[in-house]
Structure 1
Amino acid sequence: MKEPADQNAILLNRLQEREREQFLILSICKSLSEVTNKQEFHNIIGGLLKEQFLFEDFIFASADDNQTDYEIFYQFSDQKNTEAKTHPVNDGFFDVCLNDADTVVFDLKRISERKNKLPDYLQSVQDKNFKNGIGIGLPYIKGYRNVLFLFFKNTVSFSRESNRIIRGIAIQLSITLRNIKWSEAYESNLKELKHLQYNLSKRKPETKLIGTESFLEIVGSSEVMQKVYELVDQVALSQSTVLILGETGTGKELIANAIHNLSLVSNKRMVKVNCASIPENLIESELFGHEKGAFTGASDLRIGKFEQAEDGTIFLDEIGELPLELQGKLLRVLQEKEIERIGGNNVVKVNARVIAATNKSLEKEVAEGRFRSDLFYRLNVFPIAVPALRERPEDIEVLGNFFLERHSEKNGKKIKGFSKKVLKSMYAHPWPGNVRELENMVERSILFAKDNVIKEMTFPEILVGESLNTENDFYTKTLQEVEKEHILKTLKKCGGRISGPQGAAVLLGLPSTTLVSRMQKLGIKRKYF
């Protein structure tokens, strides 16, 4: 029987060992708590922990809550492999360790017959002739289920003391994994935010908010134009194909410019192609390019518009004029994101956002066999209909003053505005040429003006065949808009008279008070008629 003094010495020695263990556990936990990325984690595993536990490999496996697979978050012996492989949770290794309160010991020799069923990370350590390994299910941290695997060449390397230390740092290991994942997610989001801020900083300073008289150089504050601005805002940040529809002179190119300037590639190039202005025998080369010697006169390599617009935007104006035989090639570009130059055998990958515009009804063109239906549906991902000027009379005076200021300065004159007579005539004119016609009329009036106010504006005769009274192919009117247009036409026909035998109320079959009320509700002002 040992003497009491010997027993006291043994107890004191055990207490000192436990104190050293606790001090080591606290020291390791402190180091792990300061880790924010995998490289810092690797430095601690390869230094402090490897020196303490003498392992050959250290594998940290993790599964998110409610997931049926887990991934290898970290493997000490395979830092170069960054591919995130997943394995089923119920593979006989991860789930066994996760559900066992004790340390699970793996005899790598005895499980050799399961070679075909081993996860690749266990196969790799077995191929290195490691003798045994252990698996420890770590304490649950909200959002993550974690297992630690250690592998050894010497079967006695992992002692009871090592097991106690691992158990002591187990919860900190789980917390460290969670912190690293949160830090990686934060860095990823920060990088994306900086990218968005960079693109926002490249936007032109002319950008103004919806609701003002100008939106990215587009003049107009009418209700129908506000709807157009909202559509532009909705689609600009995406990569979706946009089809802009509208009559000649409505400003379709300005809408395309606005979409590009508000997009994530606003700092890149916007390439514009007018499909109606290029001869049929040249348009394929213009769009897709050609190799040297592809045809007579092709003395050099030509890079097409799609390649020129790489990572930017290509605007295909008057797309309805594209020859039928080229429509199939354009469809392939939109679907496959690749082209072939004329005379070339190699496929060239292209990445350009496509915006197309037309003053034709493509549905009608499809029905009459002049436009491919599959190309139409591919282009018509996000249609934007630009209203005709006669459908937004509220903007006529605003646009008139805008062009008055622009062209007065250019022509060295100081014109201040329009007479009431001219304004009334401007509101009554149907503007078949839309905003472009209005600009030309204002410029011409400035040249003939003798005073500082435009007192005369001569309007051209409407050409026979103009379908101003037909339903617009590009813009579906609301009932209020139809009612407003009908009342305006009747008022103009009656010379602005509302009541009386020759008044608009009689023609419309309404009491004059009811008509006045409807006009107020619809925003019809006397200056419009």
Structure 2
Amino acid sequence: MEKPTEKTAILINRLQEREKEQMLILSICNSLSRALNKEEFNDVVNGILKENFQFDDFILASSNENETEYELFYSFSNKNQEVKSYLLNDDFFDRCTDSADTVIFDLESDQKNPDYIQNNYKKGFKNGIGICLPYSKGKRNVLFLFFKNAKTFSRESNRILRGIAMQLSITIRNISLREQFENNLVELEILKRNVSEKRDIISEKNEGFHGIIGKSDKMKEVYELISQVAASNTTVLIFGETGTGKELVASAIHDLSSVSNNKMVKVNCASIPENLIESELFGHEKGAFTGATEQRIGKFEQAENSTIFLDEIGELPLELQGKLLRVLQEKEIERVGGNKSIKVNARVIAATNKSLEKEVYGERFRSDLYFRLNVYPIKLPALRDRKEDIPILGHFFLEKHAAKMGRNVKRFSKKVLNSMMANAWPGNVRELENMVERSILFAKDEKIKEMIFPEIAIASSNALVNEFYTKTLQEVEKEHILKVIKKCNGRISGPQGAAVLLGLPSTTLSSRMKKLGIKKEHFFD
């Protein structure tokens, strides 16, 4: 007969064992609750579940309510198994769902058994158990465990399995919902892409070429250049007067490239203060300068595996031009305040409304950078050089802004159209759009009958071409000195020399010529 103290010790021991079981159940449930996909679920199965149940195969089968078939949600021994359906009344799944207890199977090589049962029998698994998991919002789930030695599954194992059954059902539902959500996202993305492609087709029919409007021969040449270079990773330099649509051309090149799925990064070199542009382009480390309270990723790093558009590149300070040249040549940058080089892979498209050749000649732009940027130049025509596009552009902007303002303005009078065709448009397409928008506001009915042009627009096309670039004092001085030297037939000093006409000592003139880069070949044919 057991003594009271022995009974107490046995009871305490049992309580301690049950407490350990509960702690284990809690630990397994906690791990299962964090599994949000099948990869994470597999880690749990291959880890804590395998360690505690010592199974040789772990299979979860699932069926929706009111269906006559079920599928394998997860198979430990065959994770890449194709999704396949099985009849509910196969004497495995239905036996478990009809029983409140754990069902024990004695596996036999019966060709009527489902293939996953036959496969386990061929592997030497003699025994298996099945347990119906708690019902979970329209889902019936069954867990099958297979063993080469059934003795490894004990009463304690059964209790623990019952303890985690509800969490298993919840985890199956969570993973299924996530897979459904991700599939819906993929379908939505495909739908958006199809809609976008259709929109692009419509856009090309109605609005020219990838949002660039115009059907003139000059614009067709531009479209051809865009199409030829888009698929490559070549650096492109777009130049033309202000308002000709350089950013639209850059966007078209990016949209037709192999990295069109990634966002193009745009930088206006003229709008960033000179003391901040290096940090903007290349980033900076924390503490690099006053106010740098955290690390900043620059535009080049943001454009990794994409396109960076450097607008108004002619405004880039000289000291930064050398660093940009290094990026183009070495494909690496160095953050401000950093001491290591960072490899970058970004396609560069630059644009300018300046004559970079003149900037190079005036020593305001590095010649080596110019030649590195000017690999594939695209020159955009001024609006006055493609007049046949003016009515097309005018009607496009009329429709666009009238709809935006809620105004019922539909067309231009013949007089206005003639005035638009005759105008020089120094501000090009941008000016045309602004003029149309303003005229819509003043229109009294559905027709625009008046369009008031600024006085500056009365200038002739030739005058506008000459005004496209404003000369610096250094250039004016250089041209004047050359003109005088040529007049003096190349003589610098002496009574008939250029120094006398210019009122300068010959030594001063020679020094000035050297500084301006004037050589003999410049004034001798």
* Pair 1:298-2:285 in alignment: no
1:238 partner SS: coil
Q: Please say if residues 237 and 377 of structure 2, whose CA atoms lie closer than 8 Å, have aligned partners that are also in contact.
A: yes
Match of 2:59 in 1: none
1:353 partner SS: strand
Deviations 1:413-445 (A, max 9, x none): 111100000000000100000000000000000
CA distance in 2, matches of 1:467, 1:403: 23
CA distance change for structure 1 residues 390 and 261 in 2, over 3 Å: closer, same or farther? same
* Pair 1:270-2:264 in alignment: yes
Specify the code of the residue in structure 1 equivalent to 2:210: L
CA distance change for structure 1 residues 411 and 468 in 2, over 3 Å: closer, same or farther? farther
* Pair 1:444-2:438 in alignment: yes
Q: How does 1:450-529 map to 2 (within 5 A)?
A: 450-462=444-456, 468-469=462-463, 471=465
| The one of 373, 387, 396 aligned to 1:393 | 387
Specify the code of the residue in structure 1 equivalent to 2:200: T
Deviations 1:386-406 (A, max 9, x none): 100000000000000000001
Match of 2:339 in 1: 345
Q: Please say if residues 207 and 216 of structure 1, whose CA atoms lie closer than 8 Å, have aligned partners that are also in contact.
A: yes
Compute the displacement of 1:206 (Å): 3.7
* Pair 1:237-2:222 in alignment: no
Q: Please say if residues 424 and 460 of structure 2, whose CA atoms lie closer than 8 Å, have aligned partners that are also in contact.
A: no
2:456 partner SS: coil
CA distance in 1, matches of 2:195, 2:364: 40
Q: CA RMSD in A?
A: 2.6
Q: TM-score, normalised by structure 2?
A: 0.50
Q: Please say if residues 430 and 468 of structure 1, whose CA atoms lie closer than 8 Å, have aligned partners that are also in contact.
A: no
Q: Please say if residues 200 and 210 of structure 2, whose CA atoms lie closer than 8 Å, have aligned partners that are also in contact.
A: yes
Specify the code of the residue in structure 2 equivalent to 1:224: K
Match of 2:309 in 1: 315
Q: TM-score, normalised by structure 1?
A: 0.50
Match of 1:261 in 2: 255
Specify the code of the residue in structure 2 equivalent to 1:260: H
CA distance in 2, matches of 1:370, 1:263: 32
Identity of aligned residues (%): 71
Deviations 1:436-476 (A, max 9, x none): 000000000000100100000000011799975365899xx
* Pair 1:427-2:421 in alignment: yes
CA distance change for structure 1 residues 293 and 202 in 2, over 3 Å: closer, same or farther? farther
Q: Please say if residues 384 and 461 of structure 2, whose CA atoms lie closer than 8 Å, have aligned partners that are also in contact.
A: no
Q: Please say if residues 211 and 221 of structure 1, whose CA atoms lie closer than 8 Å, have aligned partners that are also in contact.
A: no
CA distance in 2, matches of 1:341, 1:466: 48
Q: Please say if residues 282 and 334 of structure 2, whose CA atoms lie closer than 8 Å, have aligned partners that are also in contact.
A: yes
Q: Please say if residues 415 and 454 of structure 1, whose CA atoms lie closer than 8 Å, have aligned partners that are also in contact.
A: yes
CA distance change for structure 1 residues 419 and 463 in 2, over 3 Å: closer, same or farther? closer
* Pair 1:250-2:244 in alignment: yes
Q: Please say if residues 246 and 380 of structure 2, whose CA atoms lie closer than 8 Å, have aligned partners that are also in contact.
A: yes
CA distance change for structure 1 residues 244 and 473 in 2, over 3 Å: closer, same or farther? farther
CA distance in 1, matches of 2:442, 2:196: 39
2:431 partner SS: helix
Q: What count of residue pairs does the alignment treat as equivalent?
A: 278
* Pair 1:408-2:402 in alignment: yes
Compute the displacement of 1:239 (Å): 0.2
Q: Please say if residues 245 and 383 of structure 1, whose CA atoms lie closer than 8 Å, have aligned partners that are also in contact.
A: yes
CA distance change for structure 1 residues 203 and 317 in 2, over 3 Å: closer, same or farther? farther
CA distance in 2, matches of 1:473, 1:265: 38
CA distance change for structure 1 residues 473 and 242 in 2, over 3 Å: closer, same or farther? farther
1:227 partner SS: helix
CA distance change for structure 1 residues 205 and 287 in 2, over 3 Å: closer, same or farther? farther
Compute the displacement of 1:231 (Å): 0.4
CA distance change for structure 1 residues 202 and 313 in 2, over 3 Å: closer, same or farther? farther
* Pair 1:332-2:326 in alignment: yes
Deviations 1:237-288 (A, max 9, x none): 0000000011000000000000000000000120000000000000000000
CA distance change for structure 1 residues 206 and 319 in 2, over 3 Å: closer, same or farther? farther
What runs of 5+ residues in structure 1 fail to find an aligned partner?
A: 1-196, 475-529
Specify the code of the residue in structure 2 equivalent to 1:218: I
1:370 partner SS: coil
1:423 partner SS: helix
What runs of 5+ residues in structure 2 fail to find an aligned partner?
A: 1-189, 469-525
Match of 2:277 in 1: 283
* Pair 1:381-2:375 in alignment: yes
Q: Please say if residues 288 and 342 of structure 1, whose CA atoms lie closer than 8 Å, have aligned partners that are also in contact.
A: yes
Match of 2:490 in 1: none
Match of 2:220 in 1: 226
CA distance change for structure 1 residues 369 and 206 in 2, over 3 Å: closer, same or farther? farther
CA distance in 2, matches of 1:430, 1:255: 22
Deviations 1:6-25 (A, max 9, x none): xxxxxxxxxxxxxxxxxxxx
Specify the code of the residue in structure 2 equivalent to 1:207: D
Compute the displacement of 1:300 (Å): 0.2
Specify the code of the residue in structure 2 equivalent to 1:285: S
Match of 1:207 in 2: 200
Match of 1:513 in 2: none
CA distance change for structure 1 residues 379 and 428 in 2, over 3 Å: closer, same or farther? same
1:406 partner SS: helix
CA distance change for structure 1 residues 257 and 473 in 2, over 3 Å: closer, same or farther? farther
Match of 2:366 in 1: 372
